[in-house]
Structure 1
Amino acid sequence: MSAPAPAPVPVPDVESLTSWVADAVAAPSMHNAQPWLFRHRRSAGELVLRMDPGRTMPETDPDSRGLHLGCGAALFNLRVAAAHAGWHARIRLVPDAAEPETLAVVTFVRPDGEEAEDTGVAELRPAIGRRHTSREPFRDEAVAQPLLDGLRGAARAEGARLDFAGDWQALDLLDLVWEAEHMEEHSPAARAEIARWASEGIPPDALGPRRYDGRAPVRDLAGGRPVEGRGTAVFERAPCLAVLGTREDSREDWLRAGQAMERVLLRATLDGLSTSLNSQAVEWPELRRLLRDPLSGMGHPQMLLRFGYGPEAPATPRRPVSEVLVVE
Structure 2
Amino acid sequence: MNGFLPLVVDQALAAAVRAPSPQNTQPWRFVVDGPRIDVWLDRDRVLAVADPAGREARLSCGAAIGNLTLALRVNGVRSRVRILPDAAEHDLLAVVSIEGNTRPSTLDRRLTEAIYRRHTNRRPLSEREVPASARASLRSAALGEGGQLEFLDASGRYAQVSALVRRAETELATDPDFRAEAAQWTGRSADCPDGVPTTGFGPPADVPGVVSLRSSHENRSIPPRQFEQDPVLAAVLTRDQGAAADVRGGMIMERVLLTATAEGLATSFLSQPFEARSTRARLLAAFRDLGQVHTLLRIGYGLPTRMTARRPAPEVTTVRSAPKVPAW
TM-score tier after normalising by the smaller chain length: 0.7 to 0.9
Instruction: Name the structure 1 match of 2:153.
Output: 166
Shift of 1:189: 1.1
Instruction: Decide whether the 8 Å contact of 1:211 with 1:233 is kept in 2.
Output: yes
Deviates more, 1:191-200 or 1:116-125: 116-125
Instruction: Name the structure 2 match of 1:197.
Output: 185
- Deviation digits for residues 177-223 of structure 1 (CA, Å, limit 9, x no counterpart): 11101221332111211221224511111111111123343223247
Matched, 1:157 2:144: yes
**One of 237, 248, 252 as aligned partner of 2:244:** 252
Instruction: Name the structure 2 match of 1:94.
Output: 84
- In structure 1, the gaps of 5 or more residues are 1-11
Structural mapping, 1:1-328, within 5 Å: 13-42=5-34, 45-96=35-86, 100-111=90-101, 120-166=107-153, 169-200=157-188, 201-213=195-207, 214-222=209-217, 227=219, 229-284=221-276, 286-291=278-283, 297-328=289-320
Q: Distance in 1 between matches of 2:280 and 2:107?
A: 31
What SS does structure 1 have at the residue aligned with 2:206? strand
Q: Distance in 1 between matches of 2:286 and 2:85?
A: 30
Tell me: CA distance 1:92–1:217, structure 2 relative to 1, closer, same or farther (3 Å). Answer: same
Q: How many residues align?
A: 309
- In structure 2, the gaps of 5 or more residues are 189-194, 321-328
Instruction: Decide whether the 8 Å contact of 1:247 with 1:297 is kept in 2.
Output: no
Q: Distance in 1 between matches of 2:260 and 2:88?
A: 38
What TM-score does the superposition give when structure 2 sets the normalisation length?
A: 0.87
Structure 2 counterpart of 1:103, one-letter code: L
Shift of 1:232: 1.4
Deviates more, 1:75-84 or 1:180-189: 180-189
Tell me: CA distance 1:307–1:92, structure 2 relative to 1, closer, same or farther (3 Å). Answer: same
Instruction: Decide whether the 8 Å contact of 1:28 with 1:70 is kept in 2.
Output: yes
Tell me: CA distance 1:75–1:295, structure 2 relative to 1, closer, same or farther (3 Å). Answer: closer
Q: Distance in 1 between matches of 2:287 and 2:62?
A: 27
Q: Distance in 1 between matches of 2:88 and 2:44?
A: 19
* Higher RCO (CA 8 Å, separation ≥ 6 residues): 2
Q: Distance in 1 between matches of 2:246 and 2:310?
A: 22
Q: RMSD of aligned C-alpha atoms?
A: 2.4
Instruction: Decide whether the 8 Å contact of 1:95 with 1:102 is kept in 2.
Output: no
- Deviation digits for residues 129-174 of structure 1 (CA, Å, limit 9, x no counterpart): 1101000111111100111111111112222221111286323222
What TM-score does the superposition give when structure 1 sets the normalisation length?
A: 0.87
Q: Distance in 2 between matches of 1:306 and 1:68?
A: 21
Q: Distance in 2 between matches of 1:208 and 1:283?
A: 20
- Deviation digits for residues 34-86 of structure 1 (CA, Å, limit 9, x no counterpart): 000011113xx211110112101121111100000000000000011011101
Tell me: CA distance 1:229–1:20, structure 2 relative to 1, closer, same or farther (3 Å). Answer: same
| Higher Rg | 1
Shift of 1:249: 1.9
- Deviation digits for residues 247-287 of structure 1 (CA, Å, limit 9, x no counterpart): 22211100010001000000011011011111110123552
- Deviation digits for residues 12-54 of structure 1 (CA, Å, limit 9, x no counterpart): 9533212210111001001110000011113xx2111101121
Instruction: Decide whether the 8 Å contact of 1:90 with 1:106 is kept in 2.
Output: yes
